[in-house]
Amino acid sequence: MTPTSRIVFHSSNLAASVTGLAYAYYKWLAPVPPQETESFGMPIHPFEPAWKTLHVLLAFTLIFGVGWIWHGHVQGQLRKWRSNPAGTRKRGSGLVLVGLAAPMIVSGYAFQVSVEESTRNFWSQVHLWSGMIWIMASILHLSKRKFFRRGLALFALVFASGCTTASLAPVRPLKIIDAHVHTRFKSDDRRQAFFAEMNANGVVGAVAHTGDNGSRGYEDLRSSGVIHCFGIGAKFGKTEHQLLDAELASGKFSCIKIYLGYIPKYATDPVYAPAYQLAKKHRVPVVFHTGDTYDRDALLKFAEPMILDEVSVAHRDVTFVIAHCGNPWIETAAEIAYKNPNVYLDVSAFLIGDLNQVSPERMEEYVTKPVRWIFGLVEDPSKVLYGSDWPLAQMGPYIRAIQRAIPLEHWQAVFHDNALKVFPKLREVVKQDR
């Protein structure tokens, strides 16, 4: 082995080992802040993705180093052993390293490209244990060399200091804005339950949806970070237009809600044209109920989201939100948001009821997987907004289900920043101390 190849291999091995151990530590051992912990799914430490990314990048240098020493060192040692087995110093640790290289590299690649959770778990375990044995074999293989003792001391110092520094670093809890709630409190207990769920889950703001031209479900909660949408009722004539104009101007309402399906009119119906004009005038978004309805007498043909493409094209100066992402027509809704720059998606109420009684498998199948697909299709993290549809769905379990669908680096956008962008009036009521 030449001095250069020795330096390349050992430095890359050290780098891959340090980052791999750090990634394993934060994935399986490090205490996770309470904000990230949930009974459904694996908790995610905020530092885990960074170490994973660094490990993947540095692993390529180790693969290069393995290839280099294979050509210049391993093949030569194997030829000597074949020609004179008795006269060649056989090193079991070296043979272990040779045998582990392929499964460690292949399992690492397979873990990155696998889609099914069970397959990813299998390859992650293969990679973990082959990697751990690789590190131990490396230590045994080099234990009699002076430069290795110095390297081992440096390894321990760097790894210990890195983990200590990262563990002591403050972890900023995720602040969440729930873009879809209802505040028709039937009792003080229900009101207290709403704010208790907000506080317990780090929800600092919310968008509440009213009905019957703003008369049902409204309570001024702006001091608590909650704004309201004016919910257009079955009757929406000149008097209601004037009411909407005045209450948007006063700041009482900060958005408009149209209940497609519950009201048997398409979004293109002329009755809604004044609402779109007022949305443009006051620079507020229009939210459409789409998809499944909570009322068996509602008509689903009006709640199918395809027609919203026509509306969004006709009113480019208005921001539209497709509530519930059109579920079960999520593919249609996602395509409309992907195509149109003025259309956004809230992913509320994919499941409703007591979510604490729903199995993890069902939450994964009917919430996490669909949202993951939607997020991938739109190819724009700013297009998706978290919402629960409280009280139909509890905030806590629903937050965790959506978190498992969204890459950690985009949580801030999906759970907070996108709502501030789409509902600008939120900036006036949500504390901004980031």
CATH number at residue 419: 3.20.20.140
Is 84 within a domain?
Answer: yes
Q: Please write the tens of the pLDDT for every residue from 344-354.
A: 999 999 999 99
For residue 434, being part of any structural domain is answered with: no
Given a contact cutoff of 8 angstroms between Cβ atoms, the answer to whether 381 and 413 are in contact is: yes
Q: Does residue 158 register a pLDDT over 90?
A: no
Q: Tell me, yes or no, whether 190 lies in a domain.
A: yes
User: Could you identify the residue written with the tokens 């050992």?
Assistant: 10
Determine the pLDDT at residue 34.
Answer: 46
Mean pLDDT of the 264-293 span: 98
- Residues 270, 321: one domain? yes
Alpha-carbon span 291 to 352, nearest angstrom: 14
Whether residue 288 contacts residue 258, with contact meaning beta carbons closer than 8 Å, is answered with: yes
pLDDT digits (tens, 9 = 90+) for 52-69: 888 988 888 888 867 766
At 112, is the pLDDT very low, low, confident or very high (cuts 50, 70, 90)? confident
Q: Are residues 416 and 277 in the same domain?
A: yes
Q: Are residues 263 and 312 in the same domain?
A: yes
Q: What is the pLDDT of residue 114?
A: 76
Q: Final residue of a domain: which of 168, 191, 216?
A: 168
pLDDT at 169: 43
* Residue 56 resides in a domain: yes
Range of the domain at 14: 3-168
Asked if 180 and 203 count as a contact pair (C-beta separation under 8 A), the reply is no
Average confidence score pLDDT of the chain: 85
Within this chain, do residues 186 and 154 fall inside the same structural domain, yes or no?
no
- What confidence score (pLDDT) does residue 166 get? 45
40-56: average pLDDT? 74
| Position 433 in a domain | no
Are 195 and 219 members of one domain? Answer: yes
pLDDT at 147 over 70: no
- What separation in angstroms does the CA of 160 have from each of 21, 58, 146, 276, 389? 11, 19, 22, 59, 45
Alpha helix stretches (DSSP H) within 169-306? 188-200, 238-250, 273-282
> Which one has a higher pLDDT value, 379 or 153?
379
Distance of alpha carbon 350 from alpha carbon 288, whole angstroms = 16
Taking the chain, what is the end-to-end CA distance rounded to the nearest angstrom?
A: 53
Q: End of a domain among 117, 135, 168?
A: 168
Residues 350 and 372 in one domain: yes
For the stretch 291-335, pLDDT in tens is 999 899 999 999 999 999 999 999 999 999 999 999 999 999 999
Tell me the average pLDDT across 355-378: 95
Q: Work out the average pLDDT over 237-241.
A: 96
Structural domain includes residue 20: yes
User: Would residue 44 count as lying in a domain?
Assistant: yes
Residues 6 or more apart whose CB falls under 8 angstroms from that of 119 comprise: 110
Instruction: Based on the fold, state whether residues 214 and 343 are members of the same structural domain.
Output: yes
Q: Are residues 409 and 369 in the same domain?
A: yes
Number of domains in the chain: 2
152 and 204 together in one domain: no
